[in-house]
Amino acid sequence: MNKTILAVGITLGLLAVVLGAFGAHGLKKVIGPEDISTFETGVKYQMYHALFLMILSILPNFANSTKMTIFYIVLIGVVLFSGSIYALATNVITSFDFKKIGFITPIGGTLLIVGWGVLLYSVLTKK
């Protein structure tokens, strides 16, 4: 078990629950239904990858270096993907135009895909 990966996965899960509640209750009065839906997408992907990291932390027979590589790829992916979605969804209530940095979202999404791909490759090449 990798305690760092597990702790970060749990933290991301906790934050996803908090952000989901905030989106469902706090944001409904200040942003529209489409933006709420966008915000919820960020929460879902954050939670999926929180669970991914928690499972990764306890996978047996994987080198810690492989786990850490996947961990960093996925963590950066979550921050870029979900973080940019949160910013874009709440753009109407901020003074900064987050649409200018919207290109970050697909970079984060690509990193999430790469994280899954590295795990798949590791499983398939494991002897």
Residue whose entry in the numeric block shows the structure tokens 């629950």: 17
pLDDT value at 7 more than 90: yes
pLDDT value at 111 more than 90: yes
Q: Give this prediction's pTM.
A: 0.92
Residue 80's CB is within 10 A of a number of other CB atoms, namely: 20
Question: How far is it, in rounded angstroms, from Cα 85 to Cα 124?
Answer: 32
Across the range 101-119, mean pLDDT stands at 96
Question: How far is it, in rounded angstroms, from Cα 14 to Cα 101?
Answer: 26
Residue whose entry in the numeric block shows the structure tokens 């200018």: 100
Q: What is residue 106's DSSP assignment?
A: H
Question: How far is it, in rounded angstroms, from Cα 11 to Cα 31?
Answer: 26
